Amino acid sequence: MESVIRKISEIESAASAIVANAEKQKESLDHEYRARRNAFDEELEDKTMREIQKIRDDLESKTSALLNEQSVENDDSITELQRQYNEYHTRYSQDILKRITEV
């Protein structure tokens, strides 16, 4: 009977050691999982920020190009209006005077 109790005690000690070892392994795996998750989160955040910056840079470039294009078009329109004014301002003045005096 004493040998059975001793054997049960040994089994219980072995089981306790197994449980303690499993707890240590679980803690180690939890730590490793947290480290991997944090590394993944940081990598994903860095990648996201790079993509956002790339999109911002592209948008800024396109906006700048569009503004430059519109500026050139506006300058061309102003130049054409000035040319027409210089060429036809006397005729415009005469037409305006004629309309006013006809009434």
- Average pLDDT for residues 26-40, to the nearest whole number? 95
Distance CA 23, CA 18 (A): 9
- 85 contact partners, CB below 8 Å, separation of at least 6: 92
Model confidence pLDDT, tens digit, residues 11-20:
888 888 899 9
**Confidence at 58, pLDDT banded by 50, 70, 90:** very high
Residue 103: pLDDT over 70: no
pLDDT value, residue 24 = 93
**Confidence at 78, pLDDT banded by 50, 70, 90:** very high
Distance CA 21, CA 18 (A): 5
Q: CA 70 → CA 3, 64, 82, 94, distances in Å? A: 98, 10, 18, 34
**Confidence at 5, pLDDT banded by 50, 70, 90:** confident
Distance CA 11, CA 30 (A): 28
Other Cβ atoms less than 10 A from the Cβ of 32: the count is 10
Distance CA 85, CA 91 (A): 10
